[in-house]
Amino acid sequence: MDDVTTDLLIIGAGPTGLFAAYYAGFRGMNVAVVDSLPELGGQITAMYPEKAILDVAGFPSVKGRDLVEGLVAQAATAHPTYLLDRTATTLEHGEDEVVVTLDDGTRVTAGAVLITSGIGKFSPRPLPAGEGWVGRGMEFFVPSFAPYAGKDVVVVGGGDSAFDWAQHLEPIAASVTLVHRRDAFRAHEGTVAAVQASSVEIITNAQVTELRGEAHLEEVEVTVDGQEPQVRKAQALVAALGFIADLGAIQQWGLETQKRHVVVDSAMRTNLRRVFAAGDITDYPGKVRLIAVGFGEAATAVNNAAVVLDPSAHVFPGHSSEG
């Protein structure tokens, strides 16, 4: 691959990275975006494109797929160079530049780097009883609801993903059962209340202990603490047990981190010269991990990077509204 020279290199093509690409163009920068996934949109595209997102300003409710589509169209105004299905491996500082090497050997020379890689590379936590069942009725993500129409579905987990998927599948599935190993949930209270008020059966203090079927899933064994196992008919199981995050090679760059997050100041600067971070990967006192927060951090990072690239520039860009 040809090497790339740009003003700003963004590492991560999720919502925060895409908005940062747009905003970099708005500030007159050339921009390149690298992501380890083959498609734009980060976790939203990979895991929940059909999920309704409720905390983005201006959208009472927006599907993940539609949000990404709008962000991609917005970023296109900056004419970014996309380097997808590639991972940033090393970072070196020059006198007035940063050089990032990708896993395919491409060298990207940039005036500044903005890390927006969310939780980094992620892999789902396994369901102990589910070994060998992926693709035979068990999945970790629900990229499309249509395949679940008319099926008996078991969702395992007690977090936001488990309750979101249970809520969205309930109108189209023949039945939905949610199984959680505790009687307390980590999901948003409003979503929990909505699922509790629906036809979804919630079984707590329980675990899925066996999956049964020939070529495809037919039954699920659920064991409630202190009781005999019960068997439920199921043609689909969603194991929403969370993810194991890995920042990968970024951890070797000398960044100050706190529990797998990159520490930044109020300008989104990291401890490394010319390196900024924004979105879920960042940490600072009072940090709230929402897409909406990531958008604001992206703008803050890009505006402060503009001054690094051109000391005569101003952090405040002026208002972006027309007229």
Cβ neighbors of 173 (< 8 A, separation 6 or more) are: 148, 149, 150, 151, 152, 153, 236
Neighbour-count burial for 245-284, b at 16+ CB within 10 Å, e otherwise: bebebbeebebebeeebbbbeeebbbebebbbbbbbbbbe
Query: Contact 178/259 with Cβ under 8 angstroms?
Result: no
The annotation places the binding site at: 16, 35, 43, 48, 88, 122, 280, 321
Distance CA 304, CA 27 (A): 11
Q: Which of helix, strand or coil describes residue 82? A: strand
Q: How many CB atoms lie within 10 A of CB 149?
A: 11
CA-wise closest residue to 153 among 132, 125, 175, 130: 175
Binding positions for FAD = 16, 35, 43, 48, 88, 122, 280, 321
d(CA 187, CA 178): 13
